[in-house]
A and B are shown apart, each in its own frame.
Chain A
Amino acid sequence: MTGPAAAARASILESLRPPPVLQGPVRIGDLDDQLLTPVGRRPPLAWFIAFGVTSTAALLGIVLILYTIATGIGVWGNNIPVAWAFDIINFVFWVGIGHAGTLISAILLLFRARWRNSISRFAEAMTIFAVICATLFPLIHVGRPWLAFWLAPYPNQRGMWPNFRSPLLWDVFAVNTYFLISLLFWYIGLIPDLASLRDRTPPGARRFVYSVLSLGWRAASSHWHHYERAYLVIAGLATGLVLSVHSVVSFDFAVSLVPGWHMTIFPPYFVAGAVFAGFAMVVMAMVVVRSTMHLEHLITAYHLDMMNRVILACSCLMGYAYLLEGFTAWYSMNPSIHHTFRQYIGGTYGLAGWITIVCNVVIPQLLWLRWFRRNIAGMVFVSLAVTVGMWFERFVIIVSSLHQDFLSSSWHVYRPTLVDYGILLGSFGLFFSLVLLFARVLPVIATTEMKMVLPGAQPRSGKGER
């Protein structure tokens, strides 16, 4: 082979090879210094400003929730036939956001995608916070949140049991299981990092806290032996769980007879949408984190590129689902379904339908271009569009389908009230407040997992035999 041909060959091979997970020479110990030092330090001014903004929003949300509870949910815009509106939209939206974390930490772990290690910790934390935000909404929507414990199946003096055939009860079990397991998964991943933090901290109250939280982890190989296995097993279980949770959420709609809700594609379509929205949120968060905390060498353009590819794939799946829904709606030859689908794109809320399609299917197609996948402004634009689009998608599914039901005398145009908007804003405030707090008190990158994939971290002799 001649010289130029060989060079061309080498360059093609280079372009096909995934770049190293980290940029630049990083030694194992340096990672600790970079990732664990900021923990617990006094944060910069920008952090305080951001936290001020988000916590104010959260406080506004809390005040409005208290107002709702004290006054009754008549302060919202919901009314028959639109009995579900912002509350359930926001619930589905936030649960969806919460799906990226488990996908990144569990599924990508099973597929051995090593780029996940830089972002898994942060994404898992976002999962937990998003699920917290999500559970708020059904809780206040029941109207008497102090009676929510009636949903638990325990023998009681009322002589009643919850209805196990109701999808709403499935939701309770699915979301709570998801929350618990995500928390467990996150915590188990944190333990070695907490131990590192403990050993870096001079004796005192903070060291005591880290020491208790790390359960006295001593990095023994006999412990790692069980730890790794358990981590994999939980990842496998969480993979099934992540599929089930949003499927169960979709059952809330799909088991009914409401046109536009009863569609058999809902379960996988909801899961794809959840991962879609979740990844968009993770991309936005990672963009901010890597620049403010100077982690560009750990969360590289390659990581962002991979996440954007996932977003693109999900966008195609969403496009497929929309196409199929539209086609089947026509193909069913059911006049009620035809009517509902005309409302999606042409009725009172037709704009919401178009926002959904443009933001979820059209704009993300920009990510076919490498430039968009690697350009910060470009990907933030796409991610924002996806977040907005996915929120509106739930709006279309819930409000547009409900507002003109079978009985045309009950048709009703839903208008959200200021309280509705305020609580939505509050949930964003709560979410980002928690994220900001997390970024200050715990390591934002799974330090231990990063060490594992550093060059030279694994023995040369360990490879190649079995």
Chain B
Amino acid sequence: MLAGALGLAGVAAAFFLCERERFWINWVLWFLFLLTTGLGSLFLVALEHVVGARWSVPLRRVPETIAGLVPPMGAAALVGLLSLGTLYPWTSAEGLRDPLVAAKAGWLNEPFFALRAAACVLLWTVSYVVLVGGSRRQDQTGDPRFNRRARRFAPLFMVILGLTVTVTAFDWISSLEPVWYSDIFGVYVFAGAFLAGLAATTLFTLHLRDAGRLDGVGPDHLHNLGGFLFAFTVFWAYIGFAQYLLMWYANIPEEVFWYGERLHGAWGGILLALALLHFLVPFLILIPRDAKSRPRLLFGVALLMLAMHWLDLYWMLFPSVAGGPLFGWPELSFALLFLSGGIWWVRRLMDRGEAMPVGDPFLREGLEFRL
């Protein structure tokens, strides 16, 4: 509470005292961080419905709850539209002087951008209501029709998510440098988002388990979560490396400058930290079979990955507006506000209902899951 209040005060102060750019880039960074975490969790929920996984049924309420971040962060994104004039070069006459940027005006213009952002938020909210709202109602009714509906809707949601995450990545992140283009960028952001969702789910699962609210969730369930973390940190590294290798090799000016900005000076150190802490260290820690089901270790790794997801976004966003890494009281206030707000929101959602989908007919099978 206190941290949140402090953060709120700091953010308010930042709004009046800081340069507008610094305020808004922090805003974009933080809503993207919580939004992608929520979307990654929602994808995890959809994945369970699509493949008909049973082991994850007892855990499902956790990502469902974290996905509760999506509607408020969608609203934050809409507020973030106010940043367009400040942050995005393609809105200013000066930026449009570059013919490459001017030629993209058909895509990069404020009304269309706002329309896309609003459409994304709408689609996410609807998906959230269908997937998570239905699941909560099932707690009372135990109606298996929800499983069937979710199973039919989930593939559709995956298509929606694929497209909307790509649009989000291209719009909110990539268009800070309107000349730059990379068609894998949506996949990269998705990989980070899914990993963040997984990490948040792991953290919250372990927390609830310690609090005794997830009875019956054993080491085998944790092992699967650990396996997912392991697999998708590799996937994230694979996508990131593929993008970097191809741009490095081809060395095309319109592409490679993006890495040029993010490789030199302290930004290069951050990229190195990402490579090591987002990929190599978790990878090495999670290799042994036993490591994947040790709660404390898993907690540490998940926390690290979540922090690294934040750093990843920071590394993508900030070089566009700042010459070197910025971290001062405005950033700290934003962190306090959004983190405490996010945690408070998720805990409130969790405390309102059951910690497991008690109405799901497959809960028992899920609890009985053994490797």
A residues with a Cβ closer than 8 A to B are 9, 12-13, 15-16, 18, 110-111, 240, 243, 247, 251, 254-257, 262-268, 316, 320-321, 324-325, 327-328, 331-334, 463-464, 466
Most interface-central of B162, B163, B181 (chain A CB within 10 A): B181
Q: Which residues of B contact A257 (CB under 8 A)?
A: 250, 252
Q: Which residues of B contact A333 (CB under 8 A)?
A: 100, 103-104
* Docked pose: A264 CA to B184 CA in angstroms: 5
**CB pair A464 B370 closer than 8 Å:** yes
**CB pair B242 A267 closer than 8 Å:** yes
**CB pair B245 A268 closer than 8 Å:** no
* Docked pose: A328 CA to B166 CA in angstroms: 12
**CB pair B187 A268 closer than 8 Å:** yes
* Docked pose: A316 CA to B162 CA in angstroms: 10
**CB pair B249 A255 closer than 8 Å:** yes
Segment of B1-9, B14-22, B30-38, B142-150 in the binding face:
B142-150
Most interface-central of B51, B245, B246, B247 (chain A CB within 10 A): B246
New A-B contacts (10) at CB < 8 Å, excluding given A110-B227, A265-B184, A463-B370: A18-B52, A256-B250, A262-B246, A264-B184, A264-B185, A268-B239, A268-B242, A324-B166, A327-B183, A464-B370
**CB pair A264 B144 closer than 8 Å:** no
Query: How many residues of B are in contact with the other chain, CB < 8 A?
Result: 46
Q: Which residues of B contact A324 (CB under 8 A)?
A: 166, 183, 186
Most interface-central of B145, B187, B362 (chain A CB within 10 A): B187
The answer to whether B107 has its CB under 8 Å from any CB of chain A is yes
Interface string of B212-238 (1 = CB under 8 A from A): 000000111000000100000010001
* Docked pose: A229 CA to B94 CA in angstroms: 62
B residues with a Cβ closer than 8 A to A are 51-52, 100, 103-104, 107, 143-145, 147-148, 151, 158-159, 162-163, 166, 170, 181-187, 218-220, 227, 234, 238-239, 242-243, 245-247, 249-250, 252, 254, 361-362, 368, 370-371
* Docked pose: A414 CA to B153 CA in angstroms: 46
Main secondary structure of the interface of B (DSSP, over half): helix
Taking the closest CB of chain A, its distance from the CB of B331, in whole angstroms, is: 30
Taking the closest CB of chain A, its distance from the CB of B107, in whole angstroms, is: 7
**CB pair B159 A316 closer than 8 Å:** yes
**CB pair B187 A16 closer than 8 Å:** no
Q: Assuming the A-B contacts A15-B148, A257-B252, A332-B254, are A247 and B246 also in contact, with contact meaning beta carbons closer than 8 angstroms in the complex?
A: no
Q: Which residues of B contact A267 (CB under 8 A)?
A: 184, 238-239, 242, 246
Q: Which of B144, B238, B250, B371 is the one whose CB lies under 8 Å from A13?
A: B144
Q: Which of A13, A247, A264, A334 is the one whose CB lies under 8 Å from B247?
A: A264
Q: Which residues of B contact A16 (CB under 8 A)?
A: 52, 144, 147-148, 151, 362
* Docked pose: A334 CA to B181 CA in angstroms: 11
Q: Assuming the A-B contacts A16-B148, A243-B238, are A332 and B181 also in contact, with contact meaning beta carbons closer than 8 angstroms in the complex?
A: yes
- Which chain A residue shows the least CB distance to B182? A264
* Docked pose: A334 CA to B99 CA in angstroms: 11
- Of the A-B pairs whose beta carbons lie under 8 Å apart in the complex, a sample of 26, sorted by A's number, is A9-B143, A12-B144, A12-B148, A16-B147, A16-B151, A18-B52, A240-B234, A254-B246, A255-B249, A262-B252, A265-B183, A266-B246, A268-B187, A268-B239, A268-B242, A320-B163, A321-B183, A324-B183, A331-B104, A331-B170, A332-B181, A333-B100, A334-B254, A463-B370, A464-B370, A466-B218
Taking the closest CB of chain A, its distance from the CB of B237, in whole angstroms, is: 11
Taking the closest CB of chain A, its distance from the CB of B279, in whole angstroms, is: 13
Taking the closest CB of chain A, its distance from the CB of B299, in whole angstroms, is: 21
- Which chain A residue shows the least CB distance to B238? A243
**CB pair B151 A264 closer than 8 Å:** no
**CB pair B245 A265 closer than 8 Å:** no
Q: Which residues of B contact A264 (CB under 8 A)?
A: 182-185, 242-243, 246-247
Q: Which residues of B contact A332 (CB under 8 A)?
A: 181, 254
